[in-house]
Structure 1
Amino acid sequence: MKVFKNVVIFIGVLFAIFLSYLGGVILFAAIFDYKPENVENVKICEKATGVLNKNTLTIFDWNIGYAGLGKDMDFFLDGGKNAIVPSKLVGEYLNGILEVLREKRADIYLFQEIDVKSWRTHYVNQLEFLKQIGDYDIAFAYNYKVLFVPVPYLNPMGKVEAGLATFSKYKIDEAKRYSLPGEYSWPTKLFQLDRCLLLTRIRTLNNKELVLLNIHPSAYDKGGVLREKQLKFIMKLAKNEYEKGNYVVIGGDWNSEFYSEKLFGYTEEKPEAYIKLPELFKLNGWKWGISKNAPTNRSISAPYVKGETFVTVIDGFYVSPNIEILEVENLDLGFEYSDHNPVVMKIMLK
């Protein structure tokens, strides 16, 4: 009986310590919670030397998965085990990403999930690393800024600073961060992403503007409730810009499937988080810059195995009626460096 009583006391003490730890973490997160304004100006790193003096452009979109979700990795929120990426893999994935970008030259790059100061990727500033691709104007907006993420409990993700970046060979005249509507319930929202879009403006020769919306709506959103609010906001903003006479390109990781049919071979059961992009977000005369030639995203419940891992298409573009899409290609990299494959689109401004 005495042994049993001691065990109960020991468990009670451990439980009390855990509750104290958890309460302290939540209080700490609440005090230092990142609270951006609804609209914020974004500082532009000015290195581009050219002006947009042509009407054909190549735009390259890639969620690089913070150089931590290549083919060898899984992720704990998707049923895997890992939150922290081995430093060796971060280096390998980053070098591979840079090699692809140098090989596939583009006028404009849209990136999602770039770590700039995160424990999970050993504080490597990936934005600075990617500047090696050349002289581009660069705009960066945070969408994840938490001093300490306490999960998974035995090996927590810790500090995360990450976001979206747009690189342009031509001078960016303005960049703004727009907060997207909707958030998770408290206290989960303290440790989740603050979803946003990054809007950049590039003046064209006919005195119009090429407006780029770099997007990454919510994931882990059961039923797509948050995504619906966010996509409505994105489409309204895009429509308003087009009605001003501008060229508008929306690009990024939509976190929604573009095709309902099974396009590629896999044996894994489709994860619940994947939902079809709702039809109601279509705008009159706008065109999708998407392709079925290769998948753009994989499940990260386990390391990638071709033919087994669930794959789909959730990355691409949506362009205004005054833009002609010349070509769209999903680059089949076998998810070597990220859980996403890039999408390259060639367009003509009418």
Structure 2
Amino acid sequence: MKKFLKILFFIFLSLLILLAGGVGYLTLTEYKPADVEKITLAGRSEEKFSLNREYKVLDWNIGFAGLDKDEDFFMDGGTNSLPIDKAHVENNLEKIKNLTIKENPDLVFFQEVDENSKRSFGINQVDYFNKNLQGTAAFAYNYKVKYVPYPFPPLGKINSGIYTNSKYSLENSTRYQLPVPFSYPVRVANLKRAFTASYAKIEGSDKNLVLINVHFEAYDSDNEGKLAQTKKVFEFLEQEYAKGNYIILGADFNQALNDITEEELNSIPENLWRPKKFDLEGLSKNFKLYYDKTKPTARLLNQAYNKNNKGTYTYTIDGFIVSNNVKVKSVQTIDEDFQNSDHNPVVLKFELENQAR
């Protein structure tokens, strides 16, 4: 009996040392970005935006090309932590690229783009889009961890973030760190979300077009993370508006943009992810939220997708915030039926108005 207890003790001690070593390694290698960081732009374009001309921007959380219709995800109540295989990721990536090229947007806001991650089989998706989409691009990390040790099989190395592409010249781009709602030690293997602000000159104007790309917190249980992040973004919007700039923000808000009813909310089991209503209280009259009220933009990954299956839940959580000196012509969700991502792309058409204020 003593020998058995001794063996158990040494097993427990070994596991404890292994755990402490893992936490220590993640602590030493933790991604600690500065509050404000300049982004190195990729590609080049000489053409500038113009006043009173129609443009198109496409916003899409591509789910690292690993969350197609066949997938589920453990954080949403599913069982999988990694995509089925590399072929799924490659196929999704190609389909996402093809749809984007077909839509021919002037601007692209992508979220959840992997640079070199286990979950997307090491494919450099940033480089892939830089090569296949014309124009100037800015990429910033939201998730940069040497090894995420959970669940099983573990997520492993993740390098992922937000990607902005413009057919027109971008002067510069900056990454702004958002509040992190997680405490140590959970923080060391978690997301460090940010927003990027990319600046473009406008022909015939001394003001800039400011392009903001953001992916708000998803799994903060009390919603305090999203509220703190939203507050910081709203403050930045006002600062740029005070300069007279034109502003377009594209986002996965991870909050319900539509008027979701209590009945609709309660139809989702309590143990599954539910979106909180997006709080517009801090958004001034200088800005307006735009989204397509007719189609959902995201699905829950509690199971593989089938539109007609019980347990399939969809939300409207993707869209735009636009300053009132930008004339919005239309906003439309492209119904891809979640074939290659757990989100559908949203397209907004706009003009930069020549107006004094």
Normalised to the residue count of structure 2, the TM-score between the two structures is 0.92
> Which residue of 314, 324, 327 corresponds with 1:324?
327
* Number of the residue aligned with 1:269: 269
Letter in 1 for 2:34: E
User: Where do 1:1-350 residues align within 5 Å?
Assistant: 2=1, 9-54=6-51, 55-85=53-83, 86-152=85-151, 154-205=152-203, 206-261=205-260, 268-269=268-269, 271-307=272-308, 308=310, 309-350=312-353
Distance 1:306 1:141 in 2: 34
Distance 1:305 1:267 in 2: 17
Contact kept? 1:175, 1:198, Cα under 8 Å: yes
3-state SS of paired residue (1:20)? helix
Aligned-pair CA distance for 1:264: 8.8
Aligned-pair CA distance for 1:49: 3.8
Distance 2:10 2:339 in 1: 46
RMSD of aligned C-alpha atoms? 2.0
Moved more, 75-84 or 57-66: 75-84
Contact kept? 1:221, 1:273, Cα under 8 Å: no
1:266/1:100 Cα in 2 relative to 1: closer, same or farther (>3 Å)?
farther
Letter in 2 for 1:169: K
Distance 2:88 2:171 in 1: 36
Unpaired runs of 5+ residues, structure 1, are: none
1:65/1:98 Cα in 2 relative to 1: closer, same or farther (>3 Å)?
same
- Deviation string 1:248-292 (CA, Å, 9 cap, x unpaired) is 111110111112325999975363442111131321142222012
Aligned-pair CA distance for 1:7: 5.7
Aligned-pair CA distance for 1:228: 0.7
Moved more, 202-211 or 44-53: 44-53
1:242/1:228 Cα in 2 relative to 1: closer, same or farther (>3 Å)?
same
- Deviation string 1:231-254 (CA, Å, 9 cap, x unpaired) is 000000011101100001111101
Unpaired runs of 5+ residues, structure 2, are: none
Contact kept? 1:267, 1:310, Cα under 8 Å: no
3-state SS of paired residue (2:72)? coil
Q: How many residues align?
A: 346
1:273/1:13 Cα in 2 relative to 1: closer, same or farther (>3 Å)?
farther
1:30/1:345 Cα in 2 relative to 1: closer, same or farther (>3 Å)?
same
- Deviation string 1:91-120 (CA, Å, 9 cap, x unpaired) is 111111111111111000001100001011
Distance 1:51 1:283 in 2: 29
Distance 2:195 2:284 in 1: 19
- Deviation string 1:184-211 (CA, Å, 9 cap, x unpaired) is 0110110111010011000101121000
Q: Percent identity?
A: 33
3-state SS of paired residue (1:325)? strand
1:220/1:53 Cα in 2 relative to 1: closer, same or farther (>3 Å)?
same
Contact kept? 2:66, 2:92, Cα under 8 Å: yes
Moved more, 52-61 or 164-173: 52-61
Moved more, 80-89 or 201-210: 80-89
Contact kept? 1:290, 1:315, Cα under 8 Å: yes
Normalised to the residue count of structure 1, the TM-score between the two structures is 0.94
Distance 2:5 2:299 in 1: 45
1:266/1:16 Cα in 2 relative to 1: closer, same or farther (>3 Å)?
same
Distance 1:10 1:93 in 2: 49
Distance 1:296 1:233 in 2: 24
Distance 2:11 2:96 in 1: 44
